[in-house]
């Protein structure tokens, strides 16, 4: 299959399976798509500058959402949104399922509703196209309420949050900072909303499901052939 274009709209099971098996990816260059990402980011920046109350951006999370943070704590809060979910157990997710999760998260972020910078979405694509796969694991997350744990491992790796996050690169296990250096990228701090944008979604369970559906369709075709 040719290069898969990610625009925030309808990826097919066939396309997800293709990327899972190594197909290249590129982000849409459609002006309308890029504009909605920029406008979404601007909404967050203006809210922070105005001192507005925004859950998980200028407040803490969950039961502590009534606690506000100072402007100088915003980056640390987003780092914690990722770091506090480094809690996985069990076997690692297969690389194909990690690739599917990365593709689906990129597609979701391209909808322009998450307030994240385009350059971070670009990093998901860079990792996919270089065949660099963050270590994520099968147990320890919530699933339909948000794949916070596996997506935090992926998000932390593409940012270079900490060398404790490992990736597969060229058949070897290396830390995420080594992988970024290989790509010519420096570690990137998550700004307002960006930690949540990376981990608060269902890309991991959806990716696993899409790959399972693809295998089922292939087996059905063989059985009926």
* Catalytic residue annotation: 55
**Residue 110 and residue 101: Cα distance in Å, rounded?**
14
Q: Which residues, 6+ apart, have CB-to-CB distance to 210 below 8 Å?
A: 13, 16, 17, 20, 100, 104
How would DSSP label each residue in 40-82?
Answer: HHHHHHHHHHTT---TTTTB-SGGGTT-B--GGGHHHHHHHHH
Q: Give 104: exposed, middle or buried? Use CB within 10 Å, 0-12, 13-18, 19+.
A: buried
Q: Which residues, 6+ apart, have CB-to-CB distance to 97 below 8 Å?
A: 20, 204, 207, 208, 211
Nearest to 105 by CA among 125, 119, 90: 125
Phi, psi of 123 (to 5 degrees): -70, -35
User: In the beta sheet, which residues pair with residue 27?
Assistant: 6
């Amino acid at each position: 299959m040719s290069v898969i274009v990610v625009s925030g709209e309808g990826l097919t099971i066939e396309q997800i399976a293709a990327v899972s098996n190594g197909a290249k990816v590129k982000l849409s260059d459609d002006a309308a798509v890029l504009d909605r990402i920029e406008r979404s980011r601007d909404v967050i920046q203006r809210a922070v500058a105005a001192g507005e109350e925004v859950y998980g951006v200028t407040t803490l999370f969950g039961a502590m959402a009534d606690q506000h943070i100072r402007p100088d704590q915003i980056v640390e809060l987003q780092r914690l949104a990722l770091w506090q979910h480094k809690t996985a157990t069990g076997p690692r997710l297969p690389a194909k399922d990690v690739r599917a999760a990365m593709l689906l998260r990129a597609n979701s972020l391209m909808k322009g509703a998450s307030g994240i910078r385009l350059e971070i979405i670009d990093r998901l694509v860079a990792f996919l196209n270089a065949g660099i796969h963050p270590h994520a694991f099968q147990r320890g997350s919530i699933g339909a309420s948000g794949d916070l744990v596996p997506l935090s491992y992926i998000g932390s790796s593409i940012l270079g949050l900490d060398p404790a996050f490992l990736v597969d690169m060229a058949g070897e296990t290396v830390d995420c900072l080594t992988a970024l250096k290989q790509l010519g990228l420096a570690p990137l701090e998550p700004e307002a909303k960006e930690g949540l944008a990376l981990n608060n979604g269902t890309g991991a369970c959806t990716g696993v499901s899409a790959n399972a559906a693809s295998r089922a369709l292939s087996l059905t075709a063989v059985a009926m052939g």
